[in-house]
Amino acid sequence: MTLKEKQQQIIDDFSMYEEWLDKYEYLIELGKSLDGLPEEKKTEDRLIKGCQSRVWLDCEKRDGFLYFDADSDALITRGIIAMLVSVYSGRSAEEILEDDFSFLNSLGLKENLSPTRANGLVSMIATIRAKAAENE
């Protein structure tokens, strides 16, 4: 699946839920399905700054592609980072850097989550982009 296709799939999934509580249920389920990180990888340098809850992002480069793994102690945040991981993991650094992350606007995530959470989302995106830039 291309990056755009994967993004569209998430937009479609998300749009099935009209009520925000249902959207949260969806994110919570997504969060629960994320493998997460082993304790030894939940380190300070993997912690994303600017979130109310703790979010860790791990990035590995294999055969020219970036593979992300993430974890959070809050489930909704975990669901959001799981969604980002499913979209951007396994892509090349160039592909990630070319993307404008605008599919998140279609989900209404930025507007509908609390200001601190919106900042958290911005920080998650910034971290993914920074990892891509480091590995370009």
Partner 1 sequence: MTTEEVRALFPQLKRTVYGKPLVYLDNAATSLRPQSVIDRWTEISAHGTANLHRAVHHVAAEATEAYENARKAVVNFINAAETEEVIFTSGATHSLNLAVFGIGEAFLKEGDEIIIGEGEHHSNIVPWQMLRNRKGISIKVLPVDENGRLCVEQLESLITEKTRIVCVAHISNVLGLVNPVSAISDVCRKHGVMLLVDGAQGVVHQDVDVQALGCDFYAFSGHKMYGAPGTGVLWGRRSLLEQMPPMFGGGEMIETVRWDGSTWAPLPRKFEAGTQNISGTPCFVQAIETIRSMPKDNETRDYVYEALQQIDGLRLFGTTSDRRLKVPVFSFSVEHAHHEDLALILDKMGVAVRSGQMCAEPLMDRFGVTGMLRASFAPYNTMQEAEYFVSSLRKAIGMLR
Site map (CB under 8 A) of partner 1, residues 34-63, x = contact: ------------------xxx---------
- Residue 77 engages partner 1 in binding (rule: CB under 8 A): yes
CB of 34 or CB of 96, closer to partner 1: 34
Give the list of residues 6+ apart from residue 102 with CB closer than 8 angstroms, or none.
none
Which of 117, 124, 127, 132 contacts partner 1 by CB under 8 A? 117
Residue type, 43: T
Known catalytic residue: 51?
yes
- Residue 30 engages partner 1 in binding (rule: CB under 8 A): no
Closest to 68 (Cα-Cα) out of 37, 98, 44, 26: 37
Q: H helices of the chain, where?
A: 3-15, 20-33, 75-88, 93-98, 103-107, 109-112, 115-134
Least Cβ distance, residue 81 to partner 1 (angstroms): 13
Closest to 126 (Cα-Cα) out of 89, 103, 96, 94: 96
- Residue 28 engages partner 1 in binding (rule: CB under 8 A): yes
CB of 30 or CB of 113, closer to partner 1: 113
From 10, 30, 48, 51, active-site residue: 51
Closest to 27 (Cα-Cα) out of 67, 88, 68, 86: 86
Binding site for partner 1 (CB under 8 A): 20-21, 24-25, 28, 52-54, 73-77, 113-114, 116-117
